Structure 1
């Protein structure tokens, strides 16, 4: 019995691909990966070292030599886009039957197949988004939530579940995780359980439940486990540094004690710990499998020597073995492209000047022939994008915001796919059999896929030349041009492997990409957060906003959190092929006081001449905190013990001394600010700090700075906005009136 009926790829002409041909073009280490087909294999692959090439050629080589059965081989990764990319490469290598899925997709397929026999009845509905159910769970507990709080609570529940915690075990493991949504860990525990109750009442499961239930069935039902293990014999796991404890447990159950496993990862690119991902399983792989073969890929084929050198120095500047035990010795990359321009470090007086300067440099690069689609501006939080959007628009430079409107949701793209599908039905098969001498992928005789696509899309407004006007007309043309470019690229690639490529093949490819949100390249500068840039690369990368408080982010306080921020910057640096620019600004607004300092991570990397004295490299160690003074509630005199009580100057059972309208105005402002910055609401200010602000009603920056929880960085970033909210409340006190300090300020 099959574990699950598999969708078979369309039949293709047998490629002229042999086992030797598959290995051709691989370097020594990649070839070692591709020929290591037995037993546990661990590939430590640095950024830009061709890991996807190595593992896809390993799978293809295993199939061609008969070691792997394609239907019994499962390649796992972490995003639908990455799975689609791997699937495309395997198809090109002539092994389309190999399954390539995310952990969730593979588990869901098994759960749908086995649920009737293992559990009985119909599989519960799958919940797309948690927000509505969390809101209902909060209402049952008479808790007030806003959109930012719902997002924070959802993220916390997801972390708990992939860490294999339940509502009963969450409290014991949640110490030190802050206050998601502004709720204490005790309240969060109750909210977690209430959410689970709401799901049960609605008969729905979420994405984490898909993994949890599959794990439960495999653990409890020996027949199901045996069937799955018979179906899948060989496993390949990409981005293994991002595995969660729950995913690792599922992988162990799939393996059932066997060792037909190849994992690929880089601990220096672990940047999703906040979601429950951990590099522990990658780093301990040799301990679990003492006989495992370990291969290091360190030849970087993406970036020039100056870029690679900077990335290496960033990691080695953080010495291993220090406090926290969070650091492992990084791979030292060796650049293969060779020399290139040195990275540029620039300090700007304010955010507006930084955005304008970056736009000017981008314009200059485009003038030298670098396509806009090969340029990216990366930042720590999504809220930083607006200044760059405005600056690029003012410079008449097109851009695309990664994480904005999805490519396949655009009206012109949907119309184009419908037209292409209709044309494919009517066409006997425009194809490219072999590359033409010009290398364009068009043979010059008969109809070709690329030419047919151009003809079809011409009815929607496509022309070979880009329109002179901008705005919606230009955006529509860029979408259609991206489809033409993809058709040409795929036709040329398939022809190079001796495979036919018909219009129907293109339509199937587009359908798969749409399902995986694997968009083709659109002409325009990419604006993206550092997290969303993982797995991508550009000729030129601008790393912006590199100041303390943003890199590392304010809420990164523990050594493990600071280490993750360093790795995040490393990921940003290694996205660049040739041109790399790093910049920061000293003030938020023109004319503002330059309180900011350049990121500590630039110490020893940026030339001293580029940095102001306020951002000097010789930072003194932070002084030890004095023991906290004993404070008493200003209402009842009880000793205050919690941080929240000390901030507000009263115990939690005493009535507040603030206007509820003012407090809600501050919460509303915080919610919008957190949304713009893509951070949890409590990262901006906790509820306790907002209460203290509402009670003190400061009228100046100096008074605001005196409130516990409002440090220099937050005063610089949020001070003016907070004072504006208070001023607009109409409840401001007389600034000349005598105000006695609360215990929190004593």
Structure 2
């Protein structure tokens, strides 16, 4: 069989990489509506007319496998870009069967080739591996009370909880080492990387999975790798598209190479400047060095104004030296860039000033993001803004705080109701939510119409049942609520009724944007340099900050603290 035709697409921030992939899929499956418009768009981006003419309508949707790094990105692509139902259309035999994460493609192949018993799916009971690990961690805490797991702080962001650290190390080692040492050697590698205090927890997790007949993401990758290598399974499509290629781990890269066998067309897309999962082994060299017959660099950014783009490109040229430099074109608008010096996230007057700047932007109708390096930093600023009467949101769609209690709503809804009561502008729903939190009414009694003040005890702040909050939304939610109730809410005047304010980590913002971004330049430690053992690790950190500064559509404010990373 002839070699596949390989296309590599570099998509720097805001250049429309996802839209380009959408247009390519539409072209390959022969969407006739807007055919000439799609063709002109692809040619403008650098696709040769001859190649486009030869490949229009050459494939069915079921001939295409589309892999990406995160389920949220895949859902956006399928449901918002292709206008299809991800869950329904990727069932066995569906046209989107192989539109998944790399883990998900391995899982689908293991089921389809009858390597895995369908009973596994039933045993999982619709729960994610993280949820099963949380159940396991709760069980282990009977033996070791310090073995706590926070599913909202996965990965490198929170290695300070014991169970999180175990989850992180298992994933790290498997993603970096499994293809070298195999099934026989991986346990030894994991144990070498873990402190002795976690060895028994590791063995207990393996027993827990075996006893219940369940699997985690690592099992999907390891079994996928083994059975692809043996030839027992293969990817039965003609086209393979991989988005966010720069975020593949070494094990996922080896799996990709086996999935790519016997394909007619391979398309890889990403941006080495935005490799931010290096803690899992992601390496920008995977996309830089992978050979291609056609290389496209998307240069026109539809997001970044001139001042923000110049700052980002200057930063990339100085700090991201091991990548492909991409000269980009701005939106043509001037934009705004501000450096805010001598700021402290722990100083009341500084937070007040930041809140005033944010308020001024919200009053203009601008969306605002405040981005931090870690979850704990984001949570601190989240709390400070709640105390001032704002209702910020998280960028994480899967956060436990979004869990809905029937009729009551999410933890965010409860927080917002508390703010409205403190501001003196509550609705009946707000009274009911706080009454429910105080145990005055149950979920079943939520629709009952009582006199408003019946919902609210005079000392309602002390009456909120914190154990209930923790049981539903987690220990972190309880601590957060305790803190803002203890320190008191002092709502600012003039906050609009409707606005978009997001406070979260830089990692959570990847692929997203806002009119105005405040980038809190603060590392977790003052002497952060000693945590980076090589120039490669330092450059990996620099890529995270590059992602943060390229989220802004109109204005970027870089907020400098005494623990700042080098962003000059």
What range is the shorter-chain TM-score in?
A: 0.5 to 0.7
Cross-structure match for 2:491? none
Q: Deviations over 1:590-644 (max 9, x none)?
A: xxxxxx3543x13xx3xxxxxxxxxxxxxxxxxxxxxxxxxxxxxxxxxxxxxxx
Q: Quick check: 1:88 aligned with 2:53?
A: no
TM-score normalised by length of structure 1: 0.52
Cross-structure match for 1:157? 170
Q: Quick check: 1:401 aligned with 2:394?
A: yes
Cα separation, partners in 2 of 1:253 and 1:597, compared to 1, 3 Å: closer
Cross-structure match for 2:243? 238
Q: Following TM superposition, by how much is the alpha carbon of 1:87 offset from its aligned partner in structure 2, in angstroms?
A: 0.6
Q: Deviations over 1:561-581 (max 9, x none)?
A: 221211111100001111111
- TM alignment of 1:317-716, pairs within 5 A: 317-318=318-319, 320=321, 327-348=322-343, 351-352=346-347, 353-370=349-366, 374-403=367-396, 404-405=399-400, 407=402, 409=404, 411=406, 469=425, 523-546=499-522, 549=525, 555-585=531-561, 596=562, 598-599=564-565, 601-602=566-567, 605=568
Q: Following TM superposition, by how much is the alpha carbon of 1:207 offset from its aligned partner in structure 2, in angstroms?
A: 1.7
Q: Deviations over 1:244-290 (max 9, x none)?
A: 2232233233222435210001111011111233323212212xx5x
Cross-structure match for 2:62? 71
Q: Secondary structure at the match of 1:235?
A: strand
Cα separation, partners in 2 of 1:527 and 1:60, compared to 1, 3 Å: same
Cα separation, partners in 2 of 1:172 and 1:560, compared to 1, 3 Å: farther
Cα separation, partners in 2 of 1:120 and 1:579, compared to 1, 3 Å: closer
Tell me if the contact between 1:137 and 1:195 (Cα under 8 Å) persists in the aligned partners: no
Instruction: Please give the alpha-carbon distance, in whole angstroms, between the structure 1 residues aligned to 2:5 and 2:218.
Output: 30
Q: Secondary structure at the match of 1:101?
A: strand
Cα separation, partners in 2 of 1:211 and 1:348, compared to 1, 3 Å: closer
Cross-structure match for 1:44? 10
Cα separation, partners in 2 of 1:472 and 1:399, compared to 1, 3 Å: farther
Q: Quick check: 1:261 aligned with 2:275?
A: no
- TM alignment of 1:291-302, pairs within 5 A: 292-302=293-303
Cross-structure match for 2:276? 271
Q: Deviations over 1:101-136 (max 9, x none)?
A: 222233322323323xx4668437444433554787
Tell me if the contact between 2:272 and 2:284 (Cα under 8 Å) persists in the aligned partners: yes
Instruction: Please give the alpha-carbon distance, in whole angstroms, between the structure 1 residues aligned to 2:224 and 2:106.
Output: 6
Q: Following TM superposition, by how much is the alpha carbon of 1:380 offset from its aligned partner in structure 2, in angstroms?
A: 1.0
Q: Which runs of 5+ in 2 are unaligned?
A: 31-55, 90-94, 150-160, 411-422, 434-497
Instruction: Please give the alpha-carbon distance, in whole angstroms, between the structure 2 residues aligned to 1:408 and 1:270.
Output: 30
Q: Following TM superposition, by how much is the alpha carbon of 1:191 offset from its aligned partner in structure 2, in angstroms?
A: 5.8
* 1:204 equivalent among 214, 218, 224: 214
Q: Following TM superposition, by how much is the alpha carbon of 1:365 offset from its aligned partner in structure 2, in angstroms?
A: 1.2
Q: Quick check: 1:282 aligned with 2:283?
A: no
Instruction: Please give the alpha-carbon distance, in whole angstroms, between the structure 1 residues aligned to 2:527 and 2:515.
Output: 23
Q: Following TM superposition, by how much is the alpha carbon of 1:75 offset from its aligned partner in structure 2, in angstroms?
A: 1.4
Cross-structure match for 2:111? 112
Cα separation, partners in 2 of 1:265 and 1:474, compared to 1, 3 Å: farther
Instruction: Please give the alpha-carbon distance, in whole angstroms, between the structure 2 residues aligned to 1:282 and 1:236.
Output: 13
Q: Following TM superposition, by how much is the alpha carbon of 1:364 offset from its aligned partner in structure 2, in angstroms?
A: 1.2
User: Which has the higher mean CA deviation after the structures are superposed, 570-579 or 92-101?
Assistant: 92-101
Q: Secondary structure at the match of 1:334?
A: coil
Cross-structure match for 2:185? 169
Q: Deviations over 1:425-473 (max 9, x none)?
A: xxxxxxxxxxxxxxxxxxxxxxxxxxxxxxxxxxxxxxxxxx9936995
Instruction: Please give the alpha-carbon distance, in whole angstroms, between the structure 1 residues aligned to 2:66 and 2:531.
Output: 36
Q: Secondary structure at the match of 1:314?
A: helix
Cross-structure match for 2:26? 60
Cα separation, partners in 2 of 1:398 and 1:76, compared to 1, 3 Å: same
* 2:133 equivalent among 127, 130, 138: 130
Cα separation, partners in 2 of 1:412 and 1:62, compared to 1, 3 Å: farther
Q: Deviations over 1:489-518 (max 9, x none)?
A: xxxxxxxxxxxxxxxxxxxxxxxxxxxxxx
Instruction: Please give the alpha-carbon distance, in whole angstroms, between the structure 2 residues aligned to 1:94 and 1:212.
Output: 29
Q: Following TM superposition, by how much is the alpha carbon of 1:347 offset from its aligned partner in structure 2, in angstroms?
A: 2.2
Cα separation, partners in 2 of 1:146 and 1:392, compared to 1, 3 Å: closer
Instruction: Please give the alpha-carbon distance, in whole angstroms, between the structure 1 residues aligned to 2:384 and 2:106.
Output: 45
Q: Following TM superposition, by how much is the alpha carbon of 1:375 offset from its aligned partner in structure 2, in angstroms?
A: 0.5
* 1:213 equivalent among 204, 223, 236: 223
Q: Secondary structure at the match of 1:261?
A: strand
Cross-structure match for 2:484? none
Instruction: Please give the alpha-carbon distance, in whole angstroms, between the structure 2 residues aligned to 1:476 and 1:251.
Output: 52
Cα separation, partners in 2 of 1:356 and 1:143, compared to 1, 3 Å: closer
Aligned residues: 434
Q: Following TM superposition, by how much is the alpha carbon of 1:59 offset from its aligned partner in structure 2, in angstroms?
A: 0.7
Q: Deviations over 1:659-690 (max 9, x none)?
A: xxxxxxxxxxxxxxxxxxxxxxxxxxxxxxxx
Instruction: Please give the alpha-carbon distance, in whole angstroms, between the structure 2 residues aligned to 1:137 and 1:168.
Output: 26
Cα separation, partners in 2 of 1:89 and 1:542, compared to 1, 3 Å: same
Cα separation, partners in 2 of 1:355 and 1:138, compared to 1, 3 Å: closer
Tell me if the contact between 1:301 and 1:337 (Cα under 8 Å) persists in the aligned partners: no
Cα separation, partners in 2 of 1:385 and 1:472, compared to 1, 3 Å: farther
Q: Secondary structure at the match of 1:401?
A: coil
Q: Which runs of 5+ in 1 are unaligned?
A: 1-37, 321-326, 416-466, 478-521, 586-595, 606-746
Tell me if the contact between 1:167 and 1:190 (Cα under 8 Å) persists in the aligned partners: no
Q: CA RMSD in A?
A: 3.9
Cα separation, partners in 2 of 1:39 and 1:122, compared to 1, 3 Å: same
Cα separation, partners in 2 of 1:218 and 1:398, compared to 1, 3 Å: same
Q: Secondary structure at the match of 2:555?
A: strand
Q: Secondary structure at the match of 2:326?
A: coil
If you compute each CA radius of gyration, which structure gives the higher value, 1 or 2? 1
